Chain A
Amino acid sequence: MPSYTAPLRDMRFVYHELFDAGDITALPGCEDATADLVDPVLDEAARLAENELFPLNHSGDREGCRYQDGAVTTPAGFKAAYEQYAQGGWIGLACDPQYGGQGMPATLNVLLEEMACSANVSFATYIGLTRGAYRAIRAFASEALKDRYLPKMVSGEWSGTMCLTEPQCGTDLGLIRARAEPAENDGYRISGTKIFITAGEHDLTTNIIHLVLARLPGAPAGIKGISLFLVPKFLPTEDGEAGERNAVTCAGIEDKMGIKASATCVINLDGAMGWLVGEPHKGMRAMFTMMNEARLGVGIQGLGLGVSAYQAAVDYARERQQGRALGGTQYPEQPADPIMVHPDIRRMLLTMRAFTEGARALTTWVARQIDVRDHSEDPQARKEADDLVQLLTPLVKSYLSEVGHDAAQMAVQVYGGHGYIRDNGVEQYARDARIAMIYEGANGIQALDLVGRKLPAHTGRYLRRFFHPVQAWIDANTADQALQPFVLPLAKAFGRLQLATGQVAQAGLKDPNEAGAASSEYLKLFALVALAFLWARMAKIALAKREGDDSGFYDAKLMTARFFVERVLPQSGSLFATIMAGGNTMMSFPDEAF
Chain B
Amino acid sequence: MQAIDKVAVIGAGVMGAGIAAQVANTGLPVVLLDIVPDGAKDRNVVASSALQKMLKTSPAPLMHPRNAKHIQVGNVEDHLQWLSDCDLVIEVVIEQLEIKQGLYRKIEQHRKPGSIVTSNTSTIPLAHLVEGLPKSFQRDFAITHFFNPPRYMRLLELVAGADTRPEAIAALRTFGDRLLGKSVVDCKDTPGFIANRIGILWLGAAVRFAFEIGLTVEEADAVIGKPMGIPKTGVFGLLDLVGIDLQPHVEQSMLATLPEGDLYREIHRPSTYIERMIEEGYIGRKGKGGFYRLNRSKGGKVKEARDLETGEYRPAVAPSLASVRAGRQGMRALVEHPDRGGRYAWRVLSHTLSYAAALVPQIADDVHAVDQAMKNGYAWKRGPFEMIDQLGPKWFAQQLAKDGLAVPPLLEQVGDGSFYRLEDDRLQYFGTDSAYHDVQRADGVLLLSDIKRGAERVAGNRSASLWDIGDEVLCLEFHSKMNSIDEGIVAMISKAIKIVPSKGYKALVIHNEGDNFSVGANIGLGLFAANIAAWLQITESVKQGQYAYKALKFAPFPVVGAPAGMALGGGCEVLLHCDALQAHAETYMGLVEVGVGLVPAWGGCKEMLLRWSNNPRHPKGPMPAVSKVFETVATATVAKSAEEAKSLLYLRPGDGITMNRDRLLAEAKAMALAMAKDYAPPEPRELQLPGSAGETAMTLVLNDFRRAGKATDHDVTVGKILAHVLAGGNTDPTAAVSEDKLLTLERNAIVSLLKTPQTLDRIEHMLETGKPLRN
Contact = CB atoms under 8 A, between A and B. Distances in A.
Interface of A: 220, 224, 458-461, 463-464, 467-468, 470-471, 498, 501-502, 505
Interface string B441-467: 000000000000000000000000000
Which 3 A-B pairs rank lowest in CB-CB distance, beginning with the nearest?
A: A460-B531, A471-B533, A460-B528
B403 interface: no
Contacts of B535: 471
Contacts of B397: none
B534 A461 contact: no
Contacts of B528: 459-460, 463, 502, 505
Interface in B503-535: 524, 527-535
B760 interface: yes
Contacts of A460: 527-528, 531-532
A437 B767 CA distance: 36
B632 to A, nearest CB: 28
Contacts of A220: 320
16 contacts: A458-B768, A459-B527, A459-B763, A459-B764, A459-B767, A460-B532, A463-B528, A467-B531, A468-B533, A471-B533, A498-B534, A498-B537, A502-B528, A502-B532, A502-B534, A502-B537
A501 B525 CA distance: 12
Contacts, number: 46
**Residue in A220, A461, A501 with the greatest tally of chain B CB atoms within 10 Å:** A461
Given A220-B320, A224-B320, A464-B760, A459 B531 contact: yes
Chain B interface extent, by class: 10 to 19
Interface of B: 320, 524, 527-535, 537, 757, 760, 763-764, 767-768
B320 to A, nearest CB: 7
Nearest to B763: A459
A467 B320 contact: no
A464 B537 contact: no
Contact of B533 (A459, A467, A505): A467
Nearest to A460: B531
Contacts of B531: 459-461, 463-464, 467-468
B529 A502 contact: yes
A220 B763 CA distance: 35
Contacts of A471: 533, 535
Contact of B764 (A458, A467, A470, A502): A458
A56 to B, nearest CB: 46
B332 to A, nearest CB: 22
A242 B226 CA distance: 55
B612 to A, nearest CB: 35
Nearest to B524: A459
A461 B320 contact: no
A467 B535 CA distance: 11
A224 B321 CA distance: 12
B107 to A, nearest CB: 61
Contacts of B524: 459
Nearest to B321: A220
Interface of A is mostly: helix
A498 B533 contact: yes
A514 to B, nearest CB: 15
Nearest to A224: B320
A220 B341 CA distance: 14
A128 B527 CA distance: 38
Contacts of B763: 459
B532 A461 contact: no
A398 to B, nearest CB: 20
A467 B767 contact: no
A458 B527 CA distance: 9
A501 B531 CA distance: 11
Nearest to B535: A471
Contacts of A505: 528
A444 B584 CA distance: 53
A586 B768 CA distance: 35
A467 B532 contact: yes
A580 to B, nearest CB: 15
Contacts of A501: 532
B177 to A, nearest CB: 42
Contacts of B534: 498, 502
A463 B532 contact: yes
Nearest to A458: B764
**Residue in A460, A471, A505 with the greatest tally of chain B CB atoms within 10 Å:** A460
B756 to A, nearest CB: 11
Given A459-B764, A461-B760, 19 more contacts: A458-B764, A458-B768, A459-B527, A459-B531, A459-B763, A460-B531, A460-B532, A461-B531, A463-B528, A464-B531, A464-B533, A464-B757, A464-B760, A471-B533, A498-B532, A498-B537, A502-B532, A502-B534, A502-B537
A464 B530 CA distance: 8
A560 to B, nearest CB: 27
A461 B533 CA distance: 11
Nearest to A462: B531
A470 B535 CA distance: 13
Contacts of A459: 524, 527-528, 531, 763-764, 767
A333 B572 CA distance: 84
A87 B533 CA distance: 49
A505 B533 CA distance: 14
A220 B767 CA distance: 29
Contacts of B767: 459
Nearest to B768: A458
A468 B529 CA distance: 11
A461 B524 CA distance: 11
A498 to B, nearest CB: 5
Contacts of B530: 464
A493 to B, nearest CB: 14
Nearest to B462: A510
A294 B527 CA distance: 32
A379 to B, nearest CB: 12
A496 B763 CA distance: 26
A468 B527 CA distance: 13
A172 B767 CA distance: 31
A461 B529 contact: no
A220 B764 CA distance: 31
A498 B535 CA distance: 10
Nearest to B765: A458
A501 B533 CA distance: 11
A471 B104 CA distance: 78
A146 B604 CA distance: 59
A124 to B, nearest CB: 36
A467 B527 CA distance: 13
A463 B528 CA distance: 9
Contacts of A470: 533
A461 B764 contact: yes
Nearest to A472: B533
A427 to B, nearest CB: 42
B336 to A, nearest CB: 18
A466 to B, nearest CB: 9
B545 to A, nearest CB: 17
B774 to A, nearest CB: 16
Nearest to A505: B528
A227 to B, nearest CB: 16
A150 B537 CA distance: 51
Contacts of A464: 530-533, 757, 760
A470 B320 CA distance: 41
Nearest to A220: B320
Contacts of B537: 498, 502
A461 B757 CA distance: 10
A502 B768 CA distance: 20
Contacts of A463: 528, 531-532
A526 to B, nearest CB: 11
A63 to B, nearest CB: 50
Nearest to A500: B532
